[in-house]
């Protein structure tokens, strides 16, 4: 029997828990051809959710383009990545792929090969003889043209959108803004995992994408949904788990999808077929996972300043939403002054070890939080 809990990659179908409301919200946004910023801390399920929403759209009405910007590092790779994604979204066979690429991109030279599964894959080079054609604009105006040609509606998703902040200039960001403003029929979703960067992009009046779309912070999955999902997974595979055990598990992971699935994985392994999960198995499974991570956690911990460590200890031990700048917190965790707290917070936010959430602070890596607590 295969372990029914999956963590790491994109999850779909049977491995996808709830998110009914979120999927409906995104669907509405697409139907209205809105421009939407979707963001959350790492591994909260953005990509899985968006891919599900795209897959559920009626194929005969919608053209969907999903672009992962993670591997891009500047305007050139942005152009090539988009051109590839747009072409592949529009054409499934080699001839059509080449035709599409040639029709829409005058300065890009396409070549098609087959991947391991025999599916055609397109790559592009530049036509040096036609340097006058503005490449970026050509690529960005393609979705609207494609939609018109196909007689379909179109949705474009840029995943890992914060990556464009790493580019050498803000040309892409500026042109993207002016282009999408004129594409009232095209739905755009900008998705990212570095929350403060994404927020900064649409909330900072100095940035090109300022207020260019609505925003949608993705939250955790509530315990009620995990109760149904986890109970079902154990039951289907001939094992049992009690509601109070799931409750305990969700308290540890705070309902964070990745950590919840990650912890369920060894918990399922530890349970014999026909058996039931006991409370001490949760401790055993947690211990196992922390043990695996302990070397990395130890290194990370050693690299931090004393005040950063004290601050983290406090955040890890206190309930969610604790005010780290309060006099009580500063006294309890021997932080000395609010300027010490500020410095520690700045450092930890920059390193993505800490995250702002509803006015309070959270440690996004739920296992790191448990590890810190286990050391006190």
Ligand X SMILES: Nc1ncnc2c1ncn2[C@@H]1O[C@H](COP(=O)(O)OP(=O)(O)OP(=O)(O)O)[C@@H](O)[C@H]1O
Strands (E), the chain: 35-39, 62-68, 108-114, 120-126, 153-159, 186-192, 214-217, 355-357, 360-362
Residues forming beta bridges with residue 217, ordered by sequence position:
39
Q: Is 184 exposed, middle or buried (0-12, 13-18, 19+ CB in 10 A)?
A: exposed
* Among Mg ion, ligand X, none, residue 45 binds (CB under 5-8 Å by kind): ligand X
> Rule CB under 6 A: is residue 163 a binding residue for ligand X?
no
> Rule CB under 6 A: is residue 44 a binding residue for ligand X?
yes
Nearest residue (CB) to ligand X, 296 versus 298:
296
Report the residue number whose CB is nearest to ligand X: 45
Q: What burial letters (b/e) apply to 262-274, b meaning 16+ CB within 10 Å?
A: bbbbbbbebbeee
Are the beta carbons of 312 and 348 closer than 8 angstroms? Answer: yes
Q: Is 142 exposed, middle or buried (0-12, 13-18, 19+ CB in 10 A)?
A: buried
- Among residues 29, 30, 38, 47, which is the contact residue for ligand X, using CB under 6 A? 47
> Rule CB under 6 A: is residue 42 a binding residue for ligand X?
yes
Nearby residues of 46 by Cβ (< 8 Å), 6 or more positions away: 38, 39, 40, 159, 191, 192, 193, 218
Q: Which stretch binds ligand X (CB under 6 A): 13-21, 61-69, 89-97, 104-112?
A: 13-21
* Among ligand X, Mg ion, none, residue 274 binds (CB under 5-8 Å by kind): none
Nearest residue (CB) to Mg ion, 39 versus 371:
39
List the interface residues with ligand X, window 250-269 (CB under 6 A): 257-258, 261
The least CB distance from residue 162 to Mg ion, in Å, is: 11
Nearest residue (CB) to ligand X, 8 versus 336:
8
* Among ligand X, Mg ion, none, residue 48 binds (CB under 5-8 Å by kind): ligand X
> Rule CB under 5 A: is residue 47 a binding residue for Mg ion?
yes
Estimate to the nearest angstrom the gap between the alpha carbon of 80 and the chain centroid: 22
Nearest residue (CB) to ligand X, 55 versus 114:
55
> Rule CB under 5 A: is residue 64 a binding residue for Mg ion?
no
């Amino acid at each position: 029997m295969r372990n029914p809990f999956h963590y790491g990659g994109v999850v779909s179908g049977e491995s996808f828990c709830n998110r009914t409301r979120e999927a409906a919200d995104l669907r509405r946004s697409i139907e209205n051809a809105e421009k939407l910023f979707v963001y959350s801390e790492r591994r909260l399920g953005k990509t899985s959710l968006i891919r599900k929403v795209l897959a559920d759209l009626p194929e005969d009405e919608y053209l969907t383009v999903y672009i992962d910007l993670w591997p891009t590092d500047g305007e050139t790779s942005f152009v090539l990545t988009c051109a590839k994604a747009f072409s592949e979204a529009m054409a499934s066979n080699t001839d059509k792929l080449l035709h599409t690429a040639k029709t829409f991109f005058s300065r890009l030279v396409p070549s098609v090969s087959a991947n391991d599964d025999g599916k055609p894959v397109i790559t592009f080079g530049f036509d040096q003889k036609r340097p006058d054609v503005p490449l970026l604009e050509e690529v960005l105006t393609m979705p609207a043209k494609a939609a018109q040609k196909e007689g379909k509606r179109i949705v474009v998703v840029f995943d890992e959108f914060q990556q464009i902040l790493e580019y050498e200039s803000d040309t892409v960001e500026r042109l993207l803004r002016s282009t999408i403003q004129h594409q009232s029929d095209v739905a755009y979703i900008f998705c990212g995992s570095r929350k403060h960067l994404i927020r900064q992009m649409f909330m900072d009046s100095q940035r090109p994408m300022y207020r260019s779309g609505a925003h949608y912070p993705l939250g955790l999955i509530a315990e009620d949904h995990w109760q149904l999902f986890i109970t079902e997974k154990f039951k289907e595979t001939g094992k049992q788990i009690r509601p109070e055990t799931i409750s305990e598990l969700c308290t540890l992971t705070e309902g964070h999808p990745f950590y919840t699935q990650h912890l369920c994985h060894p918990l399922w392994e530890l349970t014999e077929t026909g058996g039931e999960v006991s409370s001490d198995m949760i401790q055993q499974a947690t211990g196992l996972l922390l043990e695996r991570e302990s070397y990395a956690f130890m290194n990370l911990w050693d690299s931090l300043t004393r005040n950063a460590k004290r601050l983290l200890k406090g955040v890890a031990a206190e309930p969610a939403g604790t005010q780290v700048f309060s006099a009580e917190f500063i006294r309890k965790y021997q932080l000395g002054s609010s300027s010490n707290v500020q410095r520690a917070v700045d450092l930890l936010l920059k390193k993505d070890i800490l995250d702002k959430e509803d006015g309070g602070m959270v440690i996004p890596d739920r296992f790191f939080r448990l590890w810190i607590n286990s050391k006190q």
